[in-house]
Amino acid sequence: MSELLQFLIAGLKNGSIYALVALGFTIVYAATGAINFAQGEFFMLGGMLCVSFSGLGLPLPVAAVAAIAATAAIGGAFELLAVRPISDGDPLRIIMVTIGGAVVLRQLALHLLGPDERALEPFTQGASIKALGIAVERQTVWIWALTAVAVVALALIYRKTMFGRAMRATSIRRDAARLVGINASAMVTASFALAAALGALGGVAVAPLTQTAFSVGAGIGVKGFAAAILGGLGNPVAAVAGGLMLGLLESLAAGYLDPVYKDAVALLVLLVVLFARPQGLLGGSGRANV
């Protein structure tokens, strides 16, 4: 029983990270209709920059905020430099540019931050919290709390602020949004910055638990995308649910079968969902969106 609980905790921990990455896919997909293949690199940049900033002597909270802000700026700049020049908005070209851009970001991290695997110190020191015969690392609690704060903040921004309404209007219909005076292309830039910030938050939060390196982006990108499509691409609530579900599936497969299968689970989920239910578990019955 306690073994199962322990697996569930590990699953929800990884699942929260996948949820953050999946949210990033969802936001850019809503704004552009394209899949952003650099999403995983934003996760990598968050973790790597935070380790580097903290290595420069910055206190951890400052380093974390600075890493997330810097990654968001990189995300926005990425859109301005590479995606904005594609005037026809062809999703195939946007995808290609994000693939190339992902390689450039990864290589920049390699050249500037080095090839080594690096780890961050935990946000709060101390032994794991023990209750009911299970142990929860303090960092896991941080991951849950930060993910919850990010999701609630995102929901509030989208519902209550003028900026959030403008983002939603742009994703529903771009030309109509422009007709009512919304700067639609600025909203696309903002979507990349926001997606980058969410990915970076995931990267920062998980850096104390798993070592991070310049090369982790592609793998987490695929998992985040699998989570997004498991829930239903284009729906933020579904992205979070998909992330948590994927984390649980992975953790149970690794726990009860063989740890080797852990990384295979996300791909199998991806293919099975594509085969059987491409609109995702929480998507509507209509197939217009896929």
Partner 1 sequence: MDTRTLRALAPLLTAAVVAVLPLLVTDPFLLRVFTFAGINALVVTGLALLFSYAGQVSLGHAAFVGLGAYACAFCTVRLEWPWLLAFAASGALAALGGLVLALPSLRLKGHYLAMATLGFGLLMSLAFVEAEPVTGGVDGFGGIPFPAVGPLQIRTAASLYWLVWAMVGIALVAAFNVTSMRPGRAMRALHGSELGAQACGVDIVGVKVRTFVMSALLAGLAGALYASVVGFVSPSVFTLTASITFLAMTVVGGTSSLAGPLAAAVLLTLVQYLDALIPGIPSETAQTLQSYQEDIYGLAIVLVVAFAPGGLAGVWRRRRMGGDAS
- Residue 125 main-chain phi, psi, to 5 deg: -75, 165
CA–CA separation, 84 and 54 (whole Å):
33
Q: Which of 163, 252, 278, 282 binds partner 1 (CB under 8 A)?
A: 278
> According to the binding rule CB under 8 A, does residue 271 interact with partner 1?
yes
Token readout for 196 is: 């980058």
- Residue 288 main-chain phi, psi, to 5 deg: -65, -30
SS3 160: helix
Nearer to partner 1, 136 or 174 (CB): 174
Q: Which of 5, 6, 60, 93 binds partner 1 (CB under 8 A)?
A: 93
> According to the binding rule CB under 8 A, does residue 128 interact with partner 1?
no
CB 200 within 8 A of CB 46: yes
Q: How far is the CB of 14 from partner 1 (least distance, A)?
A: 17
Q: How many other C-beta atoms are found inside a 10 Å radius of the C-beta of residue 144?
A: 17
> According to the binding rule CB under 8 A, does residue 277 interact with partner 1?
no
Q: Which stretch binds partner 1 (CB under 8 A): 46-54, 59-67, 89-97, 158-166?
A: 89-97
> According to the binding rule CB under 8 A, does residue 85 interact with partner 1?
yes
x/- map, 1-40, partner 1, by CB under 8 A: --------------------------------xxx-x---
Q: How many other C-beta atoms are found inside a 10 Å radius of the C-beta of residue 185?
A: 17
User: Smallest Cα–Cα separation from 40: which of 219, 265, 264?
Assistant: 219
Q: How many other C-beta atoms are found inside a 10 Å radius of the C-beta of residue 240?
A: 28
The one-letter code for the residue type at 3 is E
User: Smallest Cα–Cα separation from 43: which of 90, 97, 106?
Assistant: 106
Pairing mode, strands 129-131 and 134-136: antiparallel
> According to the binding rule CB under 8 A, does residue 103 interact with partner 1?
yes
> According to the binding rule CB under 8 A, does residue 219 interact with partner 1?
yes
Q: Which of 226, 238, 239, 244 binds partner 1 (CB under 8 A)?
A: 226
Q: Which stretch binds partner 1 (CB under 8 A): 43-51, 53-61, 199-207, 213-221?
A: 213-221
> According to the binding rule CB under 8 A, does residue 100 interact with partner 1?
yes
CB 155 within 8 A of CB 141: no
Q: How far is the CB of 95 from partner 1 (least distance, A)?
A: 5
Q: How far is the CB of 198 from partner 1 (least distance, A)?
A: 18
- The residues binding partner 1 (CB under 8 A) are 33-35, 37, 82-83, 85-86, 91-93, 95-97, 99-104, 106-108, 111, 218-219, 221-222, 225-226, 229, 260, 263-264, 266-267, 270-271, 274-275, 278, 290
